[in-house]
């Protein structure tokens, strides 16, 4: 999705497309942080058993 929005932005210069791309990037980063945090919690629980 990022590649598509970048391609549209680079061809049109539409600032709304760029802002959409940045929003998608931000949401993806937040999702990875949540996933990594959940994984660390599981490992810490497992190591205490």
pLDDT confidence of residue 48:
53
Average pLDDT over residues 23-46: 75
* CA 47 distance to own-chain centroid: 29
Taking 80 as the threshold, does the pLDDT of residue 38 lie above it?
no
Residues 31, 22: contact at Cβ < 8 Å? no
Categorize the per-residue pLDDT at 40 as very low, low, confident or very high, splitting at 50, 70 and 90. Answer: low
Question: How many whole angstroms separate alpha carbon 2 and alpha carbon 27?
Answer: 11
**Three-class SS string for 1-49?**
CHHHHHHHHHHHCCHHHHHHHHHHHHHHHHHHHHHHHHHHHHHHHHHHC
Taking 90 as the threshold, does the pLDDT of residue 49 lie above it?
no
What pTM, to 2 d.p., does this model score? 0.61
């Amino acid at each position: 999705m990022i590649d598509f929005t970048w391609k549209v932005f680079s061809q049109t210069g539409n600032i709304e497309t760029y802002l959409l791309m940045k929003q998608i990037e931000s949401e993806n980063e937040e999702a990875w942080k949540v996933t990594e945090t959940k994984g660390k919690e599981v490992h810490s629980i497992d190591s205490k058993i």
